[in-house]
């Protein structure tokens, strides 16, 4: 077990003294979705490189900023600097934005990501509400980092993601006329994209989208008592489901096209929370 309170005490104390307010809603922006931060009023921004011990994001599309922002009268913490396990960081390091949000008393978190579509009804550009996760590949490490046991009540995944937030996300989509998909997000550690056989297996076992983030963040946030909502932007057909070669630039390109719907959806969710 890693004592995350001890590990991140310095960074928490340092940021606590400089923030303009305690955020109510944390929004983690996925690959290619970072522009959302510019669509709301920024009150104060921190480059993550200024924060002691904050890992450096090495992935294109993750700028490395924490923004304290406002929209519709709500106080926001916008994370534009997600840390991925596949970048070679420890799981505990990937959890740092979530740890910060919780220690700043944030009560809600909306996690967003770019994902490959496994469900053959999905196409690039779709937005998907994550109604459950498959995180088997990392569950053991994760529960060890958190020091959880299988009988730990805080780890029962009963309201995970939060039913209340899911209802708000669905209502937001309805109000904005956005055809929101729903599905299971299958977490992989990466760092490479999947093989065709892996995708076939995921399909058989109920996966609708695949990606390399979010699951561990969602579990940790829920463990710390935050209500968790999660949305995938389907940026590509998963491996073997189209003849196109998978690439990060395709992911970024599709995310760019979804930007407008994504912005409307997330803004409406903020209004409804
Ligand atoms: N696989 C894994 N991660 C991803 C994908 C994918 O197809 N697309 C975007 N992130």
Longest dimension (CA), the chain: 52
Q: Once rounded to an integer, what is the mean pLDDT over residues 166-179?
A: 98
Given pLDDT bands bounded at 50, 70 and 90, which one contains residue 142? confident
Q: Whose CA is nearest to atom 6 of ligand 1?
A: 116
Q: What is the pLDDT of residue 126?
A: 97
How far is residue 85's CA from residue 168's CA, in Å, rounded to a whole number? 29
* Residue whose token pair is 């805080």: 154
Q: Once rounded to an integer, what is the mean pLDDT over residues 105-131?
A: 97
Tokens read off for 166? 């899911």
Q: What is the pLDDT of residue 243?
A: 86
Q: Whole-number mean pLDDT of the chain?
A: 92
How far is residue 128's CA from residue 112's CA, in Å, rounded to a whole number? 10
Q: What is the pLDDT of residue 31?
A: 87
| Residues 11-33 pLDDT 10s | 999 999 999 999 999 999 998 89
Residue to substitute in 212, 230, 254, 255 for testing ligand 1 pocket (most ligand atoms within 8 angstroms of CB): 212
**CB of residue 202 inside a 6 A radius of ligand 1:** no
Atom number of ligand 1 nearest to Cα 117:
7
**CB of residue 128 inside a 6 A radius of ligand 1:** no
* Residue whose token pair is 């934005």: 97
- Position with higher pLDDT, 157 vs 73: 73
SS3 of residue 235 by DSSP: strand
Count CB-CB contacts under 10 A for residue 157: 13
Tokens read off for 16? 């606590």
DSSP 169-214: HHHHHHHHT--EEEEEEEE---SS---HHHHHHHHHTT--EEESSS
The answer, yes or no, to whether residue 213 has pLDDT greater than 60, is: yes
DSSP state of 87: G
Q: Which domains does the chain have, with CATH numbers?
A: 1-82 (no CATH), 112-208+224-273 (3.40.50.1580)
Atom number of ligand 1 nearest to Cα 212:
3
Q: What is the pLDDT of residue 154?
A: 60
How far is residue 215's CA from residue 126's CA, in Å, rounded to a whole number? 20
Candidates 109, 107, 145, 105; CA nearest to 4 is 145
The answer, yes or no, to whether residue 1 has pLDDT greater than 90, is: no
**CB of residue 187 inside a 6 A radius of ligand 1:** no
List Cα–Cα distances, 268 to 82, 172, 235, 242, 250, in angstroms.
23, 5, 22, 33, 27
Count CB-CB contacts under 10 A for residue 48: 21
The answer, yes or no, to whether residue 155 has pLDDT greater than 70, is: no
List Cα–Cα distances, 16 to 8, 35, 104, 204, in angstroms.
12, 25, 7, 46
| Residues 43-87 pLDDT 10s | 999 999 888 888 887 766 667 999 999 999 999 999 997 899 998
**CB of residue 232 inside a 6 A radius of ligand 1:** no
Q: Which H or E element spans position 42?
A: strand 41-47
Q: Once rounded to an integer, what is the mean pLDDT over residues 117-121?
A: 97
Half-sphere exposure of 222 (CA within 13 A, CB side): 25
Atom number of ligand 1 nearest to Cα 116:
7
Given pLDDT bands bounded at 50, 70 and 90, which one contains residue 145? confident
Q: What is the pLDDT of residue 73?
A: 97
Candidates 112, 93, 98; CA nearest to 35 is 112
Tokens read off for 253? 């390109």
The answer, yes or no, to whether residue 153 has pLDDT greater than 60, is: no
DSSP state of 74: E
SS3 of residue 237 by DSSP: strand
Cα(235) to ligand 1 centroid in Å equals: 8
């Amino acid at each position: 077990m890693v004592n995350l309170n001890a590990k991140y005490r310095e960074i928490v104390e340092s940021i606590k003294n400089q923030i303009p307010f305690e955020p109510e809603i944390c929004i983690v922006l996925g690959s290619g979705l970072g522009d959302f931060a510019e669509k709301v009023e920024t009150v104060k921004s921190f480059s993550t490189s200024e924060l002691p011990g904050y890992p450096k994001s090495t992935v294109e599309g993750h700028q490395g900023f924490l923004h304290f922002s406002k929209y519709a009268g709500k106080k926001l913490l916008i994370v534009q600097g997600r840390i991925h396990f596949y970048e070679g960081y420890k799981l505990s390091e990937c959890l740092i934005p979530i740890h910060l949000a919780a220690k700043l008393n944030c009560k809600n978190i909306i996690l967003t990501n770019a994902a490959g579509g496994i469900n053959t009804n999905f196409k690039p550009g779709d937005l998907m509400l994550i109604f459950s996760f498959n995180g088997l590949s990392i569950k053991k490490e994760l529960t060890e980092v958190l020091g959880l046991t299988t009988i730990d009540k805080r780890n029962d995944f009963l309201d995970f993601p939060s039913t209340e937030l899911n209802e708000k996300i669905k209502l937001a989509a309805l109000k904005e006329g956005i055809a929101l998909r729903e599905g299971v997000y299958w977490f992989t550690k990466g760092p490479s994209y999947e093989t065709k056989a892996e995708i076939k297996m995921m399909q058989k076992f109920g996966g609708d989208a695949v990606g390399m983030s979010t699951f561990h963040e969602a579990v940790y946030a829920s463990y710390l008592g935050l209500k968790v909502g999660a949305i995938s932007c389907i940026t590509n057909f998963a491996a073997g489901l189209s003849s196109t070669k998978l690439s990060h630039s395709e992911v970024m390109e599709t995310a760019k096209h979804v930007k407008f719907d994504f912005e409307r959806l997330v803004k409406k969710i903020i209004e409804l929370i």
